[in-house]
Structure 1
Amino acid sequence: MNPAVILTWAAALYWLAAMALLVISVVGTILQPRIAARRAARRDQPPVSIVLPVKLLEDGFERTQESAFAQLYPAFDVTVSSTEGESPAVRKMREIFARHPERPARVLLSTARFAASPKVDNLYAPFMQAAHDVILMKDANVMLEPEALAEHIRQLTAEVGLVCAIPYCAKLDNFPAHVEAAIINGPHARMLFLASCLGQGHGVGKIMLFRRSDFLRAGGFDAISHTVGEDNALAKAIRRIGKRPVFSHWPVRQELGARAFADVYHRQVRWSVIRRNDELLSFLLEPICQAFPAVMAGGLAAPLIGAPPAAGVVATFLAWFALETLLSMAKGWQLSLAAPAVFIVREAMMLAVWVNAWMTDRVVWARDKVHARVAAPPAPPAQEEG
């Protein structure tokens, strides 16, 4: 058979698979809150230790961190962990403490230095010294609605060992922030929402809710210290003890503010390298979730229906863009008049990130370069003081 004909039919099959996945994932994103809510069977509300690792004082820090203190939940305390005894972020947290004297709160100095990820080092002291068995870890740039803790805890049933929330981006103050939101609210979110609809859970570290007893039984810090993808490593460790990671029916709002293109790119490379190291099949299949390869396939396959290649390119571009835009409108996610330009830049960046992720193991974390995976030494003894 003529190689050109084979290429045309291969492009057509790829186009059909990519467009079908797009449609199915859009539907899954809309249905996931209702489907996941049916699995939220827990009714008691055990005491919870909320852990807030801090490093940089970024835009919106005070608002997002104070949201942890506003939970409509009967019993919880707050522990802030920092690698610095005094910093702008720690001082701001002490100001927040003073506004909430009714809530038990403290700052722990994290002195551990054993993990590939500085974040894991920062989590050692608060995880080991938490007052309660149930721990909720929250990143500094995510906002918790007052009902969030109560809703997430409903997912932590006897057979569940880890609850994560799917992030969506908000407060987009410049063009790079819109590009990052288009990545996170677009292919990333769609695949996570679809996985949740199918009963699958994965580690997404914007928030993580778990029992310390399960964490320790799954290997504790020795199970997550080898990688900067500690969230995914924790999900795998939880599976090994016969419990499931799940996505909550309650998403989490990630506030971006103003971003720099370089920061967006480095963050996406870090996550992509983590997926290459820890979830190779998922990494290999990533291009099918992106519009650019489907647009090219649409142009190659168009002659099969008697259309010029340009028509296939334009039709695929418009269909993909329209479906994602309608999904954002249905979910109430922030959009911009520059959305077509955002879409094009996003696709170019995602392709560049995917190619770059094949060629490096050094990634940027909080402005520091680290290796994505190392042979980490054993974690310190459990009684280390923070």
Structure 2
Amino acid sequence: MTAYTVLTWAAGGYWMIAVVLLVVSVAATIAQPWLAARRATRRDQPPVSVVLPVKMLDDQFDRTQESALMQQYRDFDVTVASTDVDGPAVRRMRAILARYPAVPSRILLSTAKFAVSPKVDNLYAPFMQATHDVILMKDANVLLEPDALAQHVRQLTDEVGLVCAIPYCARLENFAAHVEAAIINGPHARILFLASALGQGHGIGKIMLFRRSDFLRAGGFDAISHTVGEDNALAKAMRRVGKRPVFSHRPVRQELGARAFDDVYQRQLRWMVIRRNDEIISFLAEPICQAVPAVIASALAAPLVGIAPIAAASATLMLWFALETLLSVAKGWQLSWAAPAVFVVREATMLAVWLNAWVTDQVVWARDSVNARAGAKPSPVPHEEG
């Protein structure tokens, strides 16, 4: 058997696996809400402390942050945490909180400086000072539906330690935003929905719902301070103490607005470097979720079935685009008339990010440059209330 024959058969096997994964993950994305809802068996509503880490004054800031105070939930309070309690974002938060006097709320100054991730530093004060044992952390660009808290709490059963929600992108206002949405709503969402349909969960930090008692038993901040992927580290820590991470049956809406392409690239690079450091198998398998390697494989394997390589490559590309487009329609996700161009740019971006992640540890978080391998200090410094 010649080397060319081996390559041809290997390409055919790769193409088969990639296409089957594509089809199965599309089906799982449609089925996951129903499957996950069947596991959401909790019926009581424990009191919850909602934590809102604040850094920048992003577009739609009022709308997304106000959604946390509009929850149709029996007993919850809201804590805002920031490293600058006099900055524009916190001033805006004060005005938002004032519009909801019935919701107990406060603003904490975060002075901790011990973690690799600035976000973890910012979370130390509110996590440790939270009024209630159950904590929900929400990112600034996440828009919660009024019943979101109640729905996510249904997943926090006795054996569950962490509830996260799979994000989808909405309010796409320029081409770069559509590219980022095509990445998040496409390969990333499909694999996460597939994992959830199979009963698996992982850490996705757009929202995180957990018990502080479980968090401390799992190692607390010492378990998450060593990485910029604190969400994934928290999921791993919960598993070590016998508590499962799960994905909610309710996805979470991430507001994108207008994006700069460099910001899109840097954000994807940060997540890819996190996977390289913390989930090496997932990182190595990343290309199988992308269309370009499958297109190349189809061209190499085409002679096995008597098809011209260009025809096989074109058919694979069209199949991939068609299935993901139909999935977006089925889920009600925003599409653009420029979707074919978005798809092509997305594929080029994902491949470039994956290759770049092999050779860098420097990532960008909230416009700050962070070394993903920098060591964390052993313990946090005291914090104070602002």
- State the TM-score bracket (shorter-chain normalisation): over 0.9
Aligned twin of 1:270: 270
Structure 1 position 54, deviation (Å): 0.5
Structure 1 stretch 135-144 or stretch 364-373: which is displaced more? Answer: 364-373
Aligned twin of 1:239: 239
Aligned twin of 1:70: 70
CA distance in 2 between partners of 1:30 and 1:222 (Å): 37
Instruction: Tell me the SS of whatever aligns to 2:204.
Output: coil
CA RMSD in angstroms, aligned pairs only: 0.8
Q: TM-score, normalised by structure 1?
A: 0.99
- Cα deviations across residues 188-246 of structure 1 (Å, max 9, x unaligned)? 00000000011110000000000000000000000000000000000000001001000
Correspondence 1:313-324 to 2 at 5 A? 313-324=313-324
What letter matches 2:230 in structure 1?
E
What letter matches 1:61 in structure 2?
F
Residue 144, structure 1, aligned to residue 144, structure 2: yes
Aligned twin of 1:250: 250
Residue 119, structure 1, aligned to residue 131, structure 2: no
Instruction: Tell me the SS of whatever aligns to 2:227.
Output: coil
Instruction: Tell me the SS of whatever aligns to 1:107.
Output: strand
What letter matches 2:276 in structure 1?
R
Instruction: Tell me the SS of whatever aligns to 2:93.
Output: helix
What letter matches 2:47 in structure 1?
P
Aligned twin of 1:385: 384
Aligned twin of 1:12: 12
Correspondence 1:185-224 to 2 at 5 A? 185-224=185-224
Instruction: Tell me the SS of whatever aligns to 2:285.
Output: helix
Q: Which runs of 5+ in 2 are unaligned?
A: none
Structure 1 position 174, deviation (Å): 0.2
Structure 1 stretch 92-101 or stretch 202-211: which is displaced more? Answer: 92-101
Instruction: Tell me the SS of whatever aligns to 1:312.
Output: helix
Residue 61, structure 1, aligned to residue 61, structure 2: yes
Aligned twin of 1:79: 79
CA distance in 2 between partners of 1:15 and 1:277 (Å): 27
Structure 1 position 385, deviation (Å): 2.6
Aligned twin of 2:165: 165
Correspondence 1:280-359 to 2 at 5 A? 280-359=280-359
CA distance in 2 between partners of 1:11 and 1:337 (Å): 33
Kept in 1: contact 2:85–2:91 (CA 8 A): no
Structure 1 position 16, deviation (Å): 0.3
Structure 1 position 301, deviation (Å): 1.1
Aligned twin of 2:230: 230
Structure 1 position 324, deviation (Å): 0.2
Structure 1 position 373, deviation (Å): 2.7
Q: TM-score, normalised by structure 2?
A: 0.99
Aligned twin of 1:107: 107
CA distance in 2 between partners of 1:63 and 1:360 (Å): 36
State the aligned residue count: 385
Structure 1 position 277, deviation (Å): 0.3
What letter matches 2:347 in structure 1?
E
Structure 1 position 380, deviation (Å): 2.4
Residue 3, structure 1, aligned to residue 30, structure 2: no
- Cα deviations across residues 111-141 of structure 1 (Å, max 9, x unaligned)? 0000000000000000000000000000000
CA distance in 1 between partners of 2:372 and 2:254 (Å): 23
- Cα deviations across residues 333-377 of structure 1 (Å, max 9, x unaligned)? 000000000000000000000000000111001111001133211
What letter matches 1:226 in structure 2?
H
Aligned twin of 2:365: 365
CA distance in 2 between partners of 1:190 and 1:316 (Å): 18
Instruction: Tell me the SS of whatever aligns to 2:253.
Output: strand
Structure 1 position 98, deviation (Å): 1.2
CA distance in 2 between partners of 1:99 and 1:9 (Å): 64
What letter matches 1:385 in structure 2?
E
Q: Which runs of 5+ in 1 are unaligned?
A: none
What letter matches 2:157 in structure 1?
T
What letter matches 2:384 in structure 1?
E
Instruction: Tell me the SS of whatever aligns to 1:375.
Output: coil
Structure 1 position 384, deviation (Å): 3.7
Aligned twin of 2:45: 45
Structure 1 position 319, deviation (Å): 0.2
CA distance in 2 between partners of 1:91 and 1:173 (Å): 26
CA distance in 2 between partners of 1:88 and 1:101 (Å): 21
- List structure 1 segments (4+ residues) > 3 angstroms apart after TM superposition: none
CA distance in 1 between partners of 2:139 and 2:89 (Å): 13
CA distance in 2 between partners of 1:206 and 1:58 (Å): 15
Structure 1 position 8, deviation (Å): 1.1
Structure 1 position 2, deviation (Å): 1.7
Instruction: Tell me the SS of whatever aligns to 1:235.
Output: helix
